[in-house]
């Protein structure tokens, strides 16, 4: 919010009364809810929604199995199942990202921070050199919450989750089981 306020107040725009900052624009910006991008209603895949998202957006994923490997691409977004909005634990089991043995299922490679959030999924069937399920690279600090990470494989380290030595992920309520490295 401070950055938003600085952007608006730091760049005054004329208003009908003169040259004072447009405080109405500031108030509207603060009251605008985060944009929801729905999968599969708006986007066929989670990655398509991530690609379209901008910082602050929420990619909300309906129950189902999504055969894909996703990369947050440095974005400060939330990618979540309906567990995030409705709180029902069944969404954790019913919303699956399946990597199809084509790499890490979820990748954080571009210095993502705590505002890059993955919430409410089963992460499975990934295979990679490091981080079969979830890969957290150089100086990445995502939030990983309410996840089941299972059935993934790494040839070296981190069958379930790999954190590069400078990574500092916040991990809450995550079950990491039956992975191999």
Q: pLDDT tens, 31-90? A: 445 799 999 999 999 999 999 999 999 999 999 999 999 999 999 999 999 999 999 999
Using the predicted structure, report yes or no on whether residue 121 has a pLDDT greater than 70: yes
User: CA triplet 123, 127, 130: central angle to 5 degrees?
Assistant: 100
**What percent of the chain is modeled with pLDDT above 70?**
82
Check residue 33 and give its pLDDT: 56
Rounded Cα distance between 55 and 102, Å, is: 27
For 90, other C-beta atoms within 10 Å of its C-beta total 12
Which residues lie below 8 Å from residue 61, measured CB to CB, with a gap of 6+? 39, 46, 79, 80, 81, 82, 95, 121
Q: Can you give the pTM of this predicted structure?
A: 0.82
Rounded Cα distance between 107 and 131, Å, is: 8
């Amino acid at each position: 919010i401070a950055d938003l306020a600085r952007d608006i107040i730091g760049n005054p725009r004329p208003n009908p009364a003169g040259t004072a900052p447009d405080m109405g624009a500031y108030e509207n910006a603060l009251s605008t809810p985060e944009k929801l991008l729905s999968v599969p209603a708006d986007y066929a895949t989670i990655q398509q929604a991530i690609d379209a998202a901008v910082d602050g957006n929420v990619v909300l994923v309906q129950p189902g199995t999504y055969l894909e490997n996703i990369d947050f691409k440095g974005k400060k977004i939330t990618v979540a199942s309906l567990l995030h909005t409705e709180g029902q634990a069944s969404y954790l089991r019913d919303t699956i990202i399946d990597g199809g043995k084509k790499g890490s299922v979820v990748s954080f490679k571009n210095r993502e921070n705590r505002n890059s959030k993955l919430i409410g999924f089963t992460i499975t069937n990934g295979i990679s050199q490091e981080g079969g399920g979830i890969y957290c690279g150089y100086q990445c600090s995502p939030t990983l919450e309410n996840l089941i990470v299972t059935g993934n494989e790494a040839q070296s380290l981190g069958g379930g989750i790999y954190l590069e030595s400078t990574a500092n992920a916040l991990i809450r309520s995550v079950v990491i089981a039956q992975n191999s490295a």
